[in-house]
Structure 1
Amino acid sequence: MGSRSELLYFAWRNTKVRVGALILALFVILAIVGPLFARHDPNAYVGPPAHPPSREYWLGTTTFGQDVYSQFVHGLRATFIVGLLGGGIGTLLGVCIGLLAGYRGGMVDEILNMFTNIVLILPTLAVLIIIAAYLTVRGILVESLFIGCTAWPWAARAIRAQTFSLRAREFVDLARMSGRSSWKIMFYEIAPNMLSYLFMTFILQFGGAVLIAATLDFIGLGPTQGISLGLMMNNAVLWAALPLGMWWWLIPPGAAITAIVGALYVMNVGLDEVFNPKLREL
């Protein structure tokens, strides 16, 4: 309990963690509460075309009279869903494969390491583009699954290396002598000793999932139904928002994606300083 309180104390004192967490919390609150204040359906034609921000339309309207604010807050929610699901799946696969390969070693390690290397050298974005292009109906869940299933190799390799160093410790030998199964040793003995590393891995997976989803959406291979920040940017570019002076259609989603991913990476650097006593801010 004391060590946990100590970590929280140093985490809050770390400027990078504090700034990143506050920015991320701001967007999380907006994604949760924002749609409650949206008076229009994000894809409905509700107002005059290309209307600038006003009291009635807080972020203006699109070329077709759609409410940009409604699209923004609903797209923000979709972005966090993809980040959580895609990042969660990628982290889970990386943890399971990395722990198994690092703990068992031998032939199991060689087979899993070969499989990891194969997936690692695949051009991930190209594979996602090909798969998405052949699906006539795509949703956020399908997109998250694709991202998670292709984003795990680097995490697996890193966790495998950590497991190699932990499996020779005395507490692992003691667990083996007590007759605990391999799965219990991996998930109840080894994994808890690298929780900080796993948490930072999830943050990076979250940010990566948001970026990949925004890329797919921006090139028109995102969800075929609904709205997302990447789709907003795709439509804004497609219909020449900036040349027409409609900055309110393109800049908010782009700035939000940049701020969210930037906040996650800044938090990750700060947490590295927190979990490593040698790097802590005094």
Structure 2
Amino acid sequence: MLGRRGSWKLRVGLTICAVFAVVAVLAPFLVHHPNRSGPDGLQPPSLHHLFGTTDIGQDVFKQVLAGTTGSVTIGVVAGALTVALSMLFGVGGAFLGGLWDDAGSLLSNVFLVLPGLPLLIIVTDYVDSRSVLVIALVIAIVSWAGAARVLRSQTLSVRSRDYVDAARVAGESRWRLMLREILPNLMPIIASQFVFGALGAILAEAGLSFLGLGAANGASWGSILFFAQNAQAITLGAWWWFVPPGLCIAILGAALGLINFSIDERINPRLRAAAQAPRRGGKR
């Protein structure tokens, strides 16, 4: 069980993520033309435009709602693909061993040596269609190697434990050993890797969009920041154009960080002991 400190972090993080997930699902039904321009350019927040307008009269509130769908989709898809690739080369390689493990380790080492952001920029620049799903796929392909190394080391540790050896001696098949004995013990780490991958993907997409290589047509928070930067929103004093998407990235990132840290407290004995120490001190 998580301690109270870990519990409140997990509850707060899950609550914030649930709110963004609901907005991401409902936004396509609530906002039909987020990029429609109007006559009221660079208007500050008001009852008619809650987050103000852009230089060509676009409603920033509608753009932020529509961008929530794109950014959350990128985070979820990239996080899931990162976990899938890391499990394929990390868990699969460590469990099967031999040539598969050597090939997976070599490939992950190559991706780890290559600088992440420049590689991401180069790969994205060669992609013709920069849709949300394509951006998520590119981010996952570039960022899976670190998670694969972590899962490989944990799989090697779990594979050598006594209960796994006992199941192997009892005649359990290799797939049954994987599904019944090894994977359940890796689930907290896999969950942590998914959360970390989703957080990294959202931040990476925001960075790509700021460079003009992100999702097109204002489909994410990062692309909103890109258009605001191009229109010199800071110079014009149009803070309402770039602050809302920036705050959304920061708040969702903080929520994912709280979830990830609470999972770390669960799987890391040192962090769990550090979290319990203040409570033991308070009881004395």
Please say if 1:202 is aligned against 2:197: no
The answer for unaligned runs of 5 or more in structure 1 is 1-5
Q: Residue 244 of structure 1: which of 236, 241, 250 is its match?
A: 236
SS of 2:235's equivalent?
coil
Pick closer, same or farther for the CA change 1:34–1:135 going to 2, 3 Å.
closer
- Amino acid in structure 1 at the alignment position of 2:273: K
Pick closer, same or farther for the CA change 1:279–1:21 going to 2, 3 Å.
farther
Please say if 1:109 is aligned against 2:104: no
Matches within 5 A, 1:58-77: 58-77=50-69
TM-score by length of 1: 0.88
Any conservation in 1 of the 2:218–2:224 contact (CA below 8 Å)? no
Identity rate, percent:
35
Q: Residue 162 of structure 1: which of 154, 163, 186 is its match?
A: 154
Shift of 1:269: 1.2
Q: Residue 174 of structure 1: which of 141, 158, 166 is its match?
A: 166
Residues 25-76 of structure 1: CA deviation (Å, up to 9, x unaligned):
33223333455444x6111113411111111111111001111111101101
Which residue of structure 2 aligns with residue 3 of structure 1? none
Shift of 1:207: 0.5
The answer for unaligned runs of 5 or more in structure 2 is 280-284
Which residue of structure 2 aligns with residue 26 of structure 1? 19
C-alpha separation in 1, matches of 2:165 and 2:266: 29
- Amino acid in structure 2 at the alignment position of 1:256: C
Shift of 1:260: 1.0
- Counting matched residue pairs gives 274
Alignment root-mean-square deviation, CA? 2.1
SS of 1:14's equivalent?
helix
TM-score by length of 2: 0.88
Residues 231-267 of structure 1: CA deviation (Å, up to 9, x unaligned):
0000001101121111111011111111111221122
Any conservation in 2 of the 1:14–1:274 contact (CA below 8 Å)? no
C-alpha separation in 1, matches of 2:179 and 2:84: 12
Please say if 1:216 is aligned against 2:208: yes
- Amino acid in structure 2 at the alignment position of 1:24: C
C-alpha separation in 2, matches of 1:62 and 1:80: 23
C-alpha separation in 2, matches of 1:148 and 1:210: 11
Any conservation in 1 of the 2:20–2:72 contact (CA below 8 Å)? no
Any conservation in 2 of the 1:99–1:163 contact (CA below 8 Å)? yes
Shift of 1:126: 1.6
Runs of 4+ in 1 over 4 A off after TM superposition: 10-13, 34-37, 279-282
Which residue of structure 2 aligns with residue 233 of structure 1? 225
Pick closer, same or farther for the CA change 1:13–1:173 going to 2, 3 Å.
closer
Pick closer, same or farther for the CA change 1:225–1:63 going to 2, 3 Å.
closer
Which residue of structure 2 aligns with residue 147 of structure 1? 139
SS of 1:57's equivalent?
coil
Residues 76-135 of structure 1: CA deviation (Å, up to 9, x unaligned):
111110000001100111112111222233443232211110011112222221222223
- Amino acid in structure 2 at the alignment position of 1:224: A
C-alpha separation in 2, matches of 1:34 and 1:185: 43
Pick closer, same or farther for the CA change 1:213–1:170 going to 2, 3 Å.
same
